[in-house]
Amino acid sequence: MSLKIIVYEDLQYRQFLPLTFLRPAFVLRAGIFPLWQNARFHFRSAPAAFCCRNQVAPLLAEAIADIPVNIIKRDAENLLFLNGRIRDYGNLAELVKEAKASTRFMAADGTAAVLLSTASLDKLPELMTPEILAAELDADRDIVAVNPTTATLYNHLWEIMADIDKAVADDFARLDESFFGKDVEIEEGAWLVNKGKIILGQGVKVRPGALIDASHGPVYIASGTRVDPQAAVYGPTYIGPNSVVVAGKIEACSLGQVSRAGGEIEESVFHAYVNKYHAGFIGHSYVGPWVNFGAMTTNSDLKNNYSEIRSSVDGEMIGTGSIKVGSFIGDHTKFGIGTLLNTGINVGVCCNVFGGNLVTDKEISSFSWGGTGNYQTYQLDKALETARRTAGRRQIELSAREEELLSQVAAGTMTDEGALDL
């Protein structure tokens, strides 16, 4: 039986805003690899494709050039549509192998996957867009078998952060010899604890006085990264390629490529290109690309009364079920020195937040400029100028597709078109 997997974005992407303004939820990360990569671990020999909103598709295709986006070819005996929000695959892979006909696999809170077998595929065109596919699947909804699965789904960003420890450890176990680097430089006076659970990539430098401690979980530091004196990295932690870790403490984090990390960072995901070079605390947070934290910027992730933290997502107040929730911060947002963020804050893309006061807003709209009680609109041309300049500091030219997507966010013209309601 030949099988092709299509990792798709569903309408629940809005529950992961602001991180999903510019990307589908399956590109988010809890551990070392993005969520969509888990599909390849469970269905290793199957070729893959992506389905997502039409507006984010060009930027996704630019970022992951070797996987088709929103072009679905009927070129296998079976097509398996995998919800990009899958948290744990449970028995899903086993059920797919046992299935003899088209089947919808249901998790407790939604569709985890839809398998289309030859009989169903014969009615479909050779080449499909998400809209064509959705119409065909909707017509067959009542005749496709339904099977429960123990697979689970992510529903909000704070669930991703809660999984960092487990996800980093699980992904670390998947690393093979190709991840071990040559020309690693561990200078005299650097300390590595529990070395068997530490992997350093090509050209990693660990300077005197730095500590990497894998006593409570593995540590993977990818190629080209430097760990400076007085930096302490505690596992389970992932630090992406070409990053710099300066004085401070990093514990149970997943920090993406070309990030600058200093001060105290705990149980947080930095998606990529995040700059937190100075003192200050960021905890239990998911931070989008090109965010800059001014010196002493600090967020709260715990109330003084230890009660459940509520957060506003896409305008709706939601109980998180946790007493430890920090901030969710969209792409290209900047914080002035001394900014203080209250618990459970959701900050949109291209914001400039400053004033040195406690920010108490539960949700800050994209393209906001100012501080609590005094926000103005951050003009698009000025925001894009800053975004280009920020990327240029890392020798990267801001993509025209990204600029177009940011323009659509600013104009409020984002749509659900292309997201599949399976």
Give the range of the structural domain holding residue 184, as residue numbers without chain letter: 160-411
Last residue of a domain, one of 97, 131, 155: 155
Residue 380 lies in a domain: yes
Structure tokens at 201: 């990539």
3-state class of 12 per DSSP?
A: helix
Task: Specify whether 7 is located in the same domain as 77.
Answer: yes
CATH number of the domain that 13 lies in?
A: 3.90.550.10
> Looking at the structure, do residues 168 and 79 belong to the same domain, yes or no?
no
Euclidean distance between CA atoms 8 and 134, whole angstroms: 11
Does residue 283 form part of some domain? yes
**Which residues is 327 bridged to in the sheet?**
345
Q: Do 196 and 180 fall within a single domain?
A: yes
Question: What is the three-state SS of 140-189?
Answer: CCCCCEEEECCCEECCCHHHHHHCHHHHHHHHHCCCCHHHCCCCCEECCC
Residue 420 forms part of a structural domain: no
Among 129, 155, 181, the domain boundary falls at 155
| Burial (CB count <10 Å: 0-12, 13-18, 19+), residue 146 | exposed
Q: How many domains does the chain have?
A: 2
Strands (E), 224-303: 226-227, 231-234, 237-239, 244-251, 254-255, 260-266, 269-270, 275-276, 281-283, 286-287, 292-293, 298-299
For residue 133, the model assigns a pLDDT of: 76
Token pair for 391: 């990327």
Confidence at residue 139, expressed as pLDDT on a 0 to 100 scale = 65
Is residue 408 within 8 A of residue 414, CB to CB? The reply is yes
pTM, rounded to two decimals: 0.95
Query: What is the per-residue pLDDT across 345-357, written as a single tens digit (0 to 9) for each?
Result: 999 999 999 988 8
Domain membership of residue 417 (yes or no) is no
d(CA 281, CA 272): 18
40 and 134 housed in the same domain: yes
For residues 70 and 58, give the distance between their C-alpha atoms in angstroms, rounded to a whole number. 9
* pLDDT for residue 2: 87
Contact call for residues 238 and 223 (beta carbons, < 8 A): no
Using a 10 angstrom Cβ sphere, with 0-12 exposed, 13-18 middle and 19 or more buried, the burial of residue 122 is: exposed
In a domain, 419, yes or no: no
**Is there a single domain that holds both residue 105 and residue 248?**
no
Based on the domain organization, do 83 and 218 belong to the same domain? no
Q: What is the H or E stretch that residue 318 is in?
A: strand 316-319
Q: Cα–Cα distance between 48 and 18 in angstroms, integer? A: 26
Q: Is 369 helix (H, G, I), strand (E, B) or coil?
A: strand
Query: Which tokens belong to 97?
Result: 């192998």
Query: What phi and psi values does residue 86 have, to the nearest 5 degrees?
Result: -60, 130
Same domain, 82 and 208: no
Whose tokens are 């309601």? That residue is 421
| 12 occurs within a structural domain | yes
Same domain, 217 and 245: yes
Which of 161, 155, 164 has its CA nearest to residue 324? 161
What distance in Å separates the CA atoms of residue 9 and residue 337, rounded to the nearest whole number?
Answer: 37
Both 9 and 65 in one domain: the answer is yes
Q: Could you tell me if 142 and 174 lie in one domain?
A: no
Tell me if 349 is assigned to some domain.
Answer: yes
What distance in Å separates the CA atoms of residue 386 and residue 389, rounded to the nearest whole number?
Answer: 5
Domain edge (last residue) among 155, 180, 214? 155
CATH number at residue 371: 2.160.10.10
Residue 166 and residue 63 share a domain: no
Instruction: Please tell me the predicted confidence (pLDDT) of residue 132.
Output: 79
Residues of the chain with pLDDT under 50: none
pLDDT for the residue 114: 92
Residue 368 lies in a domain: yes
- If DSSP codes are grouped into helix, strand and coil, which group holds residue 212? strand
Whether residue 225 sits in one domain with residue 362: yes
